[in-house]
Amino acid sequence: MSQFSLPLTQIIHENLSVVMNFAFSRQPLEKLVETNFRGEWKYLRKPLFSMSEQHAFKACIELAVFMRLLDDGENISGYLRQTGEPNFGRLIMKDKPDEELKLREVANKIIHASDLAWDLSTENKPILICSSRDTEKWGWIRAEIDVVTLAAFCGQLIS
């Protein structure tokens, strides 16, 4: 393993923890608030939803940056191409058919996104949506990242 001044896989795992805890706690918290609290409750909603979502987005960006650093140092993408890389989601293109997302593209799309959003509508299948900063220049509209597949990959990294 290459020498780097930070423990990359440990930082990846820490950020994955934040992302997964957000993605899998959001719906139960929404049900809790809906069931137990009447009215607006904006000062409760802020820490339960707005702040935790911001922390999750920050963790996504950090996760992407450190995955890129690890990939740059260890050529994990090259290894995955040779051994059968998993599909990390879907890349919606402007004038072409959709493409499968590969590991390197997951990091790139998060880093270069103009906006991050969540699709938590399917139970146990959270999707991170990255909107393109410049559809005309890059040719992609959005990336839909399968968070569970990403977690499975990160769970194979030794820290």
Residue 3 forms part of a structural domain? no
Per-residue pLDDT tens digits for 17-64: 999 999 999 999 999 999 999 999 999 999 999 999 999 999 999 999
* 146 contacts 106 by C-beta, under 8 angstroms: no
Q: Quick one: DSSP state of residue 126?
A: -
Is residue 67 assigned to a domain? yes
Which amino acid is it at 118?
A: W
Specify whether the CB–CB gap between 68 and 103 falls below 8 A.
no
- Asked whether residue 159 is domain-assigned, the answer is no
**What is the C-alpha separation between 117 and 119, in angstroms, rounded?**
7
Query: Looking at residues 130-142, what average pLDDT do you find?
Result: 93
Name which residue leads in pLDDT, 2 or 99. Answer: 99
Whether the Cβ atoms of residue 49 and residue 106 lie closer than 8 Å to each other: no
pTM of full prediction above 0.85:
yes
Q: What is the rounded distance in angstroms from the CA atom of residue 107 to the CA atom of residue 62? A: 10
End-to-end CA distance of the chain: 11
Number of domains in the chain: 1
- Find residue 115's DSSP bridge partners: 131
Domain that holds residue 128: 8-154
Task: Answer whether residue 19 is part of any domain.
Answer: yes
1 lies in a domain? no
